[in-house]
Structure formats: C-alpha cells, structure tokens
Structure 1
Amino acid sequence: MTIQAAIFTDVLAADALELSLVVPIFNEQESVGPLITRIIEAMTNYPSSWELILVDDGSTDATIVNARAYLQQPDSNLKIVALQRNFGQTAAMQAGIDTARGRLIATLDGDLQNDPKDIPMLVEELERRELDLLVGWRKNRQDGLFLRKIPSWIANRLIGKITGVRLHDYGCSLKIYRSSIIKQVKLTGEMHRFIPAWVASVVPSTRIGEMPVTHHARQFGASKYGLSRTFRVILDLLSVMFFMRYKARPGHFFGSLGLGLGALAGVIMTYLFIDKFILGNDIGTRPMLMVGVVLLLSSVQLITTGILAEMIARLYYRDDLTPNYIVRETYQQTD
C-alpha cells in the first residue's frame, strides 16, 4: 500500500460512522420530543459511533420546531432533514438512507411504537448471524385486532407467498441494514412495506432474517393507516411481483402475452382459412373471425408495448439516480 493510500484509508476510518438511525416523521409534534429522548437513552452505552437522522416529511404542525429544540442537546448526534412537502413515508425513508453515513442503518417509526432499546440488540444479532437485513417482528403487537392485526396477517402471508421471502411481519419499520446493501435499492411509491423483497433482489434471501422486538401502543395522535391500506398493499404487491421478475426485461412479460395470443389467433385464422378456401364455407358472419382478428391485433399491440417498455427501462436505468424527494433544508448540531 502506498503512503497516499494509507493516509486516505486512515481518513476514511476516522470519519466513518458505525450506525445511522433513520426516522421518518410526519405530524408527530407530541411524539418527536420523547422519541429523541428515548433514542439518546437507548444509545448511551452503545460502544461505537452513531448518528440520528430525523426526516420531516412536510409536517404541518410543530413537529420540526419541537425537533430543532434538541439540536443543541449534548450527545444527541442529531441531524434533521426537512423535505419541501409531504412526499410519503417511502420517499422520506429514502431521503434518510441517502443522508446516512453509517456502516449500518437502522430505521424505525416516529410514533413511539417501536422501542429504540431494541436497536443495539438487533445490531448484535445482525452481526452474529452475518445478515444483510434484520427485520423486527412485532410478536406481541399492540394494535386493534380487526383494523390492523388481521389485515396485516393476511398481507404478510400473501407477500411471503408471492415474493418468496417469508417473514412474520413485513410492516415493522424497525429494521437493521448494511448500508452497502440498502443503498443499492431505490425506494419509490409506497414500497417501504416490501423492503425485504427488494433487498432479496440484491442478495440471497438467506441473508435476510427477523427477530422479535418490543411494540408499544400509540400514545399520541392517530394512526396514518386504515382499512384502505389493505387494498393499496394488494396493488403494490402486484407491482412488486412485476418489478422483481421483469424490471430489467419488461419486453419478456408483454412479449410472452403477445406471442401467446398470437399463437391462438394463428390457430383460429388457419382453421377459418381451411374452412373458407378448402371446404368452401362462408365465414364472413362467424363470430370466430372477429375473435381471431381481435386476438391478432392484441398480439401485435402487446409485442409493440413490450418493445416500448424495453426502451423505457433503458431510460430508467440511465436516469435512476434522480431522487424522488426534494430537501428544503438540513439542520444539524453545531460545535
């Protein structure tokens, strides 16, 4: 190793952080203060360096004002990323992950239902099992049975069946990632619910695990989710299934459908050709002729759609670095 390389390595080691805690928040003015306090208490004896990144997702109450009051508190290691407007939890989480400097990244909700005291234990378990992602499992979930528990149980079973990554609790925001892995995944839409599935597209599913964690009942405010979330999960799951299998080759999806319909149209049109020109029957008023023509046109349309999708996919990969959020301002502790 050259002297310059050694110096560069030493500088990186000096600046490196071990753990970044990312917390998206939206209209949590009552919760944000106790949240920061609990995180500081939970990380007091953490043996390595860490930082806390709060991402304010365009709150319309006093959330960011209350959070900024903790910027000068000793040992809070606090940074606040204020987004220009409400972009959604997924975009806020992506903003926090992009800002994070830690070798490991922990995410948790800002409503005090996740317990920060579980974080050091999760980090230790991730390292012990040599995982790239460790997901919290709210085994004793403190939510309503019909509004949250049952829909969540159904969604977890369905997601595991379709994606092949079987976990008890996809919806738990308390997760620990290796930064080098999660930064290879770009989160869009409302895809934060399917992060383990996206991570499984980067690493083997055997490097994804779960561990029971503490779950508290909501103390302040109201839940941002309702029954409508179940239907959105189903729609998002269809998108996940498509992107996991055909993200880089959408032409295969549309092309396969097009070729299938084209083959069926070919059989029908061949039969009608024989019936017309060999057997001499009139086919002009037969419904089968219309079905064959429609199938043939649909086949051509699907194949051309696949070609266009391939072109769009190439543009997507070229422009994939465009963020899906806008940062208004960043606040952090001053010396």
Structure 2
Amino acid sequence: MDITVVVPLFNEEESLPELSDWITRVMKENNFTYEVIMIDDGSTDTSWEIIQHISKINTNFKGIKFQRNYGKSAALNEGFKAAKGDVVITMDADMQDSPDEIPGLRDMIIHGGYDVVSGWKKKRYDNKLTKNLPSKLFNAVARKSSKIQLHDFNCGLKAYRNKVVKSIEVFGEMHRYIPVLAKWAGFRKIGEKVVEHRPRKYGVTKFGLNRFVNGFLDLFTISFISKFGKRPMHFFGLYGTLFFIIGLLIILFLIVQKLVLPHFWLTNSPAFYISLTVMIIGMQLFLAGFVGELVTRNASERNVYLIEEKIGV
C-alpha cells in the first residue's frame, strides 16, 4: 500500500464529508493505493456517525473511536499502530491542511530519501497575537533545544516512513515533538516542505493557553528523557554530588575560620545554614538519581532497543 493518511479529529462533523471527498480525489488522480484512518477523539457531535457513513461508501476509509477525549497524541499513536502504508501522512480534520500536498510529501519520502517531512505553514491565517507569536516563540525554543532546524514543529501536516511511526510512541502532548522522537529513535533525515495553510472554514480552534504552556513543559520532558531516560543517575548524581561538595567546602571554610578566630560562632553565620541547605539538596538529588536507577533497571522496557538490521541471527 502506498499511503496511509491518519486524521485525528474532535467535533469536526461539518468538515468530514468535504475532507474525505478531497482526499479521495487526490488519491485517484495520482493512482495511489491508500487507506485513511480517522480517529474520533471522543467527539460529542455526529462525527462518528459521519465516519461510519463514509466508510460504507469508500472502504479505504477506516475509523477508530475513543470512549472519551484523550488528546491528539493518543489519537496519532493509535493511528500509527494501525497504519499499513509505506508512507504515513498526518493531517488535521479542520480543512486548514490541504490534501493536495499529499503527492509532494510522498515524493520527498520515497524519492528524496527523508525519514520525516514536516509541513511549514509559512503564510498563516491564524490570529497573530494569540497564536502566531506564541507559536514562533515555541518553535524557536524547540529548534534550539532539539537541534532540528524546522520552522513549524506543531504543523499537523507531516509525512513519515512507515518504519518511523512503528518505532516511536506518542503520549501526553508529544505530538508536537514527533520529529524529536524520530531523531531520538535514530531517524535523522528530517526535512521540511512549505505547505498551504487555509483559513478555517468550519468549527472553532482548539488552541488555548494551556496547550501553549503544556508544549514547553513537554519540551523539557522530552529533552530530559532523550538524554537521561536510561541513566538518571548521570544527571541527578552529577548535580547532587556538585551541590554536596559546594556545601561541604563552605562548612570546611567556616571550621577553619573558627580555628583561626576562637570567638567566631559558626551558627551565627548565614553561610552555615546555606551550606547545610545546599548539602541537603545535594543528598536529595543524589537519592533521586539512585531511585531513578532502581526504577529504570526494573522497568519492563529497560533493554528494549531499536535494531535496524540483523545478519545471521
């Protein structure tokens, strides 16, 4: 199968018929073999009934319905599990992503040699103050942190080799960082394509301030996990030891000062309490790393590694 299109959605009843017709037309014009997996993330409107109707008319359309709203990452993760196409393309269901971009994205994967191609909505129709400016700040921080030179991490229109989506797990709000997850899994050929951003035709935006804040928190999480997920002691132990040594040196300095100046009272010096606090923090960090190592070594996936190829085994 050439292409799997994964479409996560929440309350998009108005756009689904038009979107499905558009995708079908693009696939027929290019003679692609395809499937479209629509994941209903706990919609409260008639989205699921419309998906059922579409799948009866065109069996290339398939559906997954969540009992409640779990979020876009969960929807993508289930879609990736079910995907069978050589190229997996994700797009939003609100008609702001154009299915006409599908052939170009596929070509960059098949003929361009990329593992991941992320869309870049260079010209946007969103509110500049509430969405565009926060998005630019978010993308700048994500670029600097991940060392992946993409302009638009949060663009829903992306393409992947099938092997990529089968090698990663998307959870929480990590759908913004799928290129980072792919890089972490060893897929380093990550490209970008300028895509059309269309004005919203139906429904309302799901963007809110909480998503912006959560995006930064998830960025810190994935940065930490990617570096220290299997060796937490290297982080907590290092800084714990550093804090403890600093506190110990302050204490030793105060003791020497007491020996030189008999009338000097250790407990009257603020440095005494600072040194105790720093040493306690250091011990707590060290113990956190120790506990993290125990958890990691007893985890069921502690020795799960992605193997690209085997010979003779």
Q: TM-score, normalised by structure 1?
A: 0.85
Counterparts of residues 16-95 of structure 1 (less than 5 Å): 17-74=1-58, 76-95=59-78
Could you tell me how far apart the structure 2 residues matched to 1:55 and 1:313 are?
33
Question: What amino acid is aligned across from residue 300 of structure 1 in structure 2?
Answer: M
- Deviation readout 1:182-227 (Å, 9 max, x if unpaired): 221111110101111111112354x000011111111111000034
- Deviation, 1:45, is 2.8
- Determine the structure 1 residue equivalent to 2:121: 138
Candidates 219, 227, 239, aligned match of 1:245 = 227
- Determine the structure 1 residue equivalent to 2:146: 163
Counterparts of residues 179-194 of structure 1 (less than 5 Å): 179-194=162-177
Could you tell me how far apart the structure 2 residues matched to 1:287 and 1:40 are?
73
Counterparts of residues 300-315 of structure 1 (less than 5 Å): 300-315=283-298
Question: What amino acid is aligned across from residue 223 of structure 1 in structure 2?
Answer: T
Between 1:234-243 and 1:86-95, the stretch displaced more is 234-243
- Deviation readout 1:54-111 (Å, 9 max, x if unpaired): 011111111001111111214x501101112111001111010011112221111011
- Deviation readout 1:107-150 (Å, 9 max, x if unpaired): 11011110111111110122222010011111222222212222
- Determine the structure 2 residue equivalent to 1:290: 273
Counterparts of residues 195-234 of structure 1 (less than 5 Å): 195-203=178-186, 205=188, 207-234=189-216
Question: What amino acid is aligned across from residue 292 of structure 1 in structure 2?
Answer: S
- Determine the structure 1 residue equivalent to 2:161: 178
Could you tell me how far apart the structure 1 residues matched to 2:91 and 2:135 are?
18
Residue 119 (1) aligns with residue 76 (2): no
Question: What amino acid is aligned across from residue 89 of structure 1 in structure 2?
Answer: K
Could you tell me how far apart the structure 2 residues matched to 1:48 and 1:204 are?
25
CA contact (8 A) 2:251 2:272 kept: yes
- Deviation, 1:278, is 5.4
Could you tell me how far apart the structure 2 residues matched to 1:186 and 1:134 are?
18
Tell me the percent identity.
32
Question: What amino acid is aligned across from residue 241 of structure 2 in structure 1?
Answer: L
- Deviation, 1:258, is 0.4
Between 1:237-246 and 1:177-186, the stretch displaced more is 237-246
CA-based RMSD:
1.9
Candidates 230, 252, 256, aligned match of 1:274 = 256
Could you tell me how far apart the structure 2 residues matched to 1:135 and 1:110 are?
17
Runs of 5+ consecutive residues of structure 2 not aligned to the other structure: 305-313
Could you tell me how far apart the structure 1 residues matched to 2:179 and 2:228 are?
18
Runs of 5+ consecutive residues of structure 1 not aligned to the other structure: 1-16, 322-335
- Deviation, 1:317, is 5.1
- Deviation readout 1:127-186 (Å, 9 max, x if unpaired): 222010011111222222212222211211111011110111111111110111222111
- Deviation readout 1:256-312 (Å, 9 max, x if unpaired): 210110110121111122223454333132222211111111111110101111222
Could you tell me how far apart the structure 2 residues matched to 1:47 and 1:198 are?
32
Could you tell me how far apart the structure 2 residues matched to 1:80 and 1:204 are?
29
Residue 263 (1) aligns with residue 245 (2): yes
- Deviation, 1:19, is 1.6
SS in 2 for 1:284: helix
SS in 2 for 1:268: helix
SS in 2 for 1:270: helix
SS in 1 for 2:294: helix
SS in 2 for 1:122: helix
CA contact (8 A) 1:43 1:117 kept: no
Could you tell me how far apart the structure 2 residues matched to 1:28 and 1:290 are?
59
Could you tell me how far apart the structure 2 residues matched to 1:194 and 1:316 are?
24
SS in 1 for 2:37: strand
SS in 2 for 1:230: helix
Question: What amino acid is aligned across from residue 42 of structure 1 in structure 2?
Answer: V
Greater RCO, 1 or 2 (C-alpha within 8 Å, sep 6+): 1
Change (3 A) 1:172 1:234: same
- Determine the structure 2 residue equivalent to 1:9: none
